[in-house]
Chain A
Amino acid sequence: MTGTTWGLYITIAGIFSAALLMLGMEKKAGLNARQVSLIAMLAAFCAAGRMVTGVALLFLQPTMFLVEITGFVFGARVGFFVGAMTPLISNFFIGQGPWTPWQMICWGLVGMSGAAVRYLFPRAGYKTITVLCFVWGYLYGAIMDIWQWSVFIRPLTFQSYFLIWAAGFSFDSLRAAGNLIFCAALGGQSIKILRYFHKKMDVRYLENI
């Protein structure tokens, strides 16, 4: 029947766009040792936050807002890398699934949106980020549902998509609430800490005496 192949297209598109985005970002960036290790470290940090604290705190994860703030402080490229690698790394330990590429794209977008905030509202503080994080809680669910919808549901109508989305609504709300709480509690200090290191990384004046 028509639309059968949509599942294939969407899946392949997910894999390839994740790969292409990574590749493209990399080719444009002249990443030095500091940036490479900073990105990797933040990604490992986020992945650990995603996996470990979830259980103790009702599956709320103190992670998405950090990715967002990373983008906000370090710019789109670092934000994207940290975001995209977060699910990839944690899935190395709990198993990759068909959702990995889409998760990578979503998280990468979260990081890039942080950079967009800084670009659009240079004077924004963590309050703006908090609002955005809350929105991302739902948006993330909405994007992640696309794959499931396109592969398993016929016909591909708005109604069917809505139903799939509604099925995951409670999880999305939990995620959004978690983002809100964590960002409100930790956002300010995270921005402070990351800015401190951002400065330390970039200001390397060299003077001869």
Chain B
Amino acid sequence: MPLYKIENLTYYYPEAEKAALNNISLEIEDGEFILVAGGSGSGKSSLARALAGLIPDFYGGRIGGKIYFQGWDIRAMDRRKLARQVGMVFQDPEKQIVQTHVEAEIAFGLENLGLDNEEMLRRVAEVICFMDLEQIRGDFTANLSGGQKQKLALASVLAMQPHVLVLDEPTSQLDPVSAEDILNLVKRLNEEMGFTVVMIEQRLERCYHLADRVLLMDKGRIACDGSARAVARKTIKGCAPFLPPVARFFAGLQAPAVPLTVKEGRKLLRSCLNIKETGAARPAPGAGDACPADYTGRRCAVRLKNLWFTYPGGQEVLKGVSLDVGEGEFVAVLGENGAGKSTMLRQLTGLLRPDRGTVEVFGQDVGKNGFKEIRKHIAYLSQNPNDYLFQDTVEDELLFTLKNFGLKDTSAVDEMLERFNLAQYRRTNPRDLSSGERQRVALASVLVTSPGLIILDEPTRGVDFRLKAELGRFLQQEAAKGRTVIVVTHDVEFAAEYAARAVMMFSGRVVSDGKKHDVLGKSVFYSPQLCKMCRGICDGVLTFSEARDRIYPLITGGAVVAEGPGVTM
């Protein structure tokens, strides 16, 4: 008997005209590790909610079809019984912690199940050991870091000892290393403890290979379903971009097998290339060639000199940060959680004053209240797009910014709405939009003044591949127009694909700065998958197009180089 059996499930949220889930039929076996991928708004979260019994219990709405869990109709099941079996971890760790203290939070679910105290003590102790939370067991939950919160959210679900674990983008805000930690943990749960795992992820390079089975969703339907390899093979033909970069690379080669991990990729690449000595591929054509121009001659847009900063009552966050960014540069700032990236951006905008050191923007010293003079030339997008949305319509949102700066010319509004594909939502309330659309509204509302400096704080979180590509290209165009772009991101692939320069921060210091090939190419953890694959075989490859241009011509194995499908991200 399958663990889950879904028959013709169709679901509409209350007052929605479009079905969030459309005639879904699905069986899930015990012990499977399922990865759910798909575009923004394709119904991934809705499916997860359905599996956890939150749809329609919590949301209401219209529903058709049946979901059986272990042969029971999920809607007829006792909620407590279901909750014992199915645990769900949500996307935003900030919005799922209830109690004030770590230990109490882990016990919260157990209390709800009505367990007795001894049982609870045992389980809490177990989970704390397993998840390695001993250090913070008595801490105030509001003060935990993002990664700790995410771990805690997972721990508090694990304590309920569920059978099935449903994870909705559990690593969206984590740096690559901590994300890896969580994913490995999930893998361990699946392999060593027999959990059935259903995981939603946008950044496939991190978890595609972990999954036994991949579901691709599109417009509320399941577009593709099968083992990871089978789906990879299938999607290669259909040119769908839901593949990790390694697989996408070989898609164009019509290779006999589809590699999913760096290891497999390297093996296959070696065999294809027929290279005896590694590194003998055509010498790297000067790693810098990919960067269009040299910036030394340009005017300096941002100059940070020896910046030190400590939050009141905190530790030192910035320790001697120096950074020069020329006009027209596109810089990606990477680094672990809590490295001080956001803090540096706030110094840049003049919102925080450095304790020591100077900040110059467009040649102007950002002194006290300096942001008042320079803010007309700065577009700043914070980590949370919801911070920007409060007007009744999307259009008003853009007009609000214009009005504040006393700009009368409202033609920019139309242009921006066109540009970000928001024209049809002009009169919609921004709070009714999906997360990707909200992101675009927020972006449009800060870019409407055509600023010279664009600063984005993690614009890629929870954003699907298509929007990411759109955003990346947009920013590249802006940079080409002579605007300066600074993006903080945890998404290495995004940085490698679109930025020209990368800056790595580590505990308040800039530890590496330079052309992205120098910075990302040499890093172990902060390097894109293709770079890892080509390292030692053909150095200096970061992006897909580079890999294609440099390696395809070398292929000697007789494989035909197929241009076209699956090539652009």
A binds B: yes
Query: Given the complex of chains A and B, what is the CA–CA distance between A207 and B64 in angstroms?
Result: 8
| B480 vs chain A, min Cβ distance (A) | 42
Question: Is B10 among interface residues, defined by CB-CB distance under 8 A?
Answer: yes
Question: Is A55 among interface residues, defined by CB-CB distance under 8 A?
Answer: no
CB neighbours of B61 from chain A (8 A): 204-207
| B282 vs chain A, min Cβ distance (A) | 60
Question: Is A120 among interface residues, defined by CB-CB distance under 8 A?
Answer: no
Which B residues, 521 to 562, have Cβ-Cβ distances below 8 Å to chain A?
none
Which B residues, 49 to 73, have Cβ-Cβ distances below 8 Å to chain A?
56, 58-64
Q: In the complex, are the beta carbons of B64 and A208 less than 8 A apart?
A: yes
Question: Is B14 among interface residues, defined by CB-CB distance under 8 A?
Answer: yes
Question: Is A29 among interface residues, defined by CB-CB distance under 8 A?
Answer: no
Smallest CB-CB separation from B95: which chain A residue?
Answer: A37
Partner of A207, one of B58, B59, B62: B62
Query: Given the complex of chains A and B, what is the CA–CA distance between A207 and B19 in angstroms?
Result: 14
Q: In the complex, are the beta carbons of A204 and B62 less than 8 A apart?
A: no
Query: Given the complex of chains A and B, what is the CA–CA distance between A203 and B13 in angstroms?
Result: 12
Q: In the complex, are the beta carbons of B10 and A204 less than 8 A apart?
A: no
| A190 vs chain B, min Cβ distance (A) | 13
Q: In the complex, are the beta carbons of B60 and A205 less than 8 A apart?
A: yes
A/B pair count, beta carbons within 8 Å: 26
| B537 vs chain A, min Cβ distance (A) | 53
Q: In the complex, are the beta carbons of B14 and A209 less than 8 A apart?
A: no
CB neighbours of A33 from chain B (8 A): 58
Q: In the complex, are the beta carbons of B56 and A206 less than 8 A apart?
A: yes
CB neighbours of A204 from chain B (8 A): 14, 59-61
Q: In the complex, are the beta carbons of B60 and A208 less than 8 A apart?
A: no
Smallest CB-CB separation from B62: which chain A residue?
Answer: A207
Query: Given the complex of chains A and B, what is the CA–CA distance between A87 and B370 in angstroms?
Result: 37
CB neighbours of A209 from chain B (8 A): 10, 12, 62-64
| A150 vs chain B, min Cβ distance (A) | 34
Query: Given the complex of chains A and B, what is the CA–CA distance between A209 and B62 in angstroms?
Result: 7
Smallest CB-CB separation from B10: which chain A residue?
Answer: A209
Query: Given the complex of chains A and B, what is the CA–CA distance between A83 and B4 in angstroms?
Result: 45
CB neighbours of B12 from chain A (8 A): 209
Smallest CB-CB separation from A207: which chain B residue?
Answer: B62
Smallest CB-CB separation from A196: which chain B residue?
Answer: B431
CB neighbours of B58 from chain A (8 A): 33
CB neighbours of A205 from chain B (8 A): 14, 60-61
| A147 vs chain B, min Cβ distance (A) | 28
CB neighbours of B14 from chain A (8 A): 203-205
| B328 vs chain A, min Cβ distance (A) | 39
Query: Given the complex of chains A and B, what is the CA–CA distance between A207 and B62 in angstroms?
Result: 5
Which B residues, 4 to 49, have Cβ-Cβ distances below 8 Å to chain A?
10, 12, 14
| B76 vs chain A, min Cβ distance (A) | 13
| A122 vs chain B, min Cβ distance (A) | 25
| B93 vs chain A, min Cβ distance (A) | 16
CB neighbours of B63 from chain A (8 A): 206-209
| B336 vs chain A, min Cβ distance (A) | 29
Query: Given the complex of chains A and B, what is the CA–CA distance between A205 and B56 in angstroms?
Result: 10
Query: Given the complex of chains A and B, what is the CA–CA distance between A185 and B435 in angstroms?
Result: 30
Query: Given the complex of chains A and B, what is the CA–CA distance between A203 and B64 in angstroms?
Result: 19
Which A residues, 158 to 208, have Cβ-Cβ distances below 8 Å to chain B?
203-208
Query: Given the complex of chains A and B, what is the CA–CA distance between A112 and B500 in angstroms?
Result: 59
CB neighbours of B56 from chain A (8 A): 206
Q: A204-B59, A206-B63 are in contact. List 6 more A-B contacts (CB 8 A).
A: A205-B14, A205-B60, A205-B61, A206-B62, A207-B63, A209-B62
- Pick 9 A–B contacts, CB within 8 A, sort by A: A204-B59, A204-B60, A206-B60, A206-B63, A207-B61, A208-B62, A208-B63, A208-B64, A209-B12
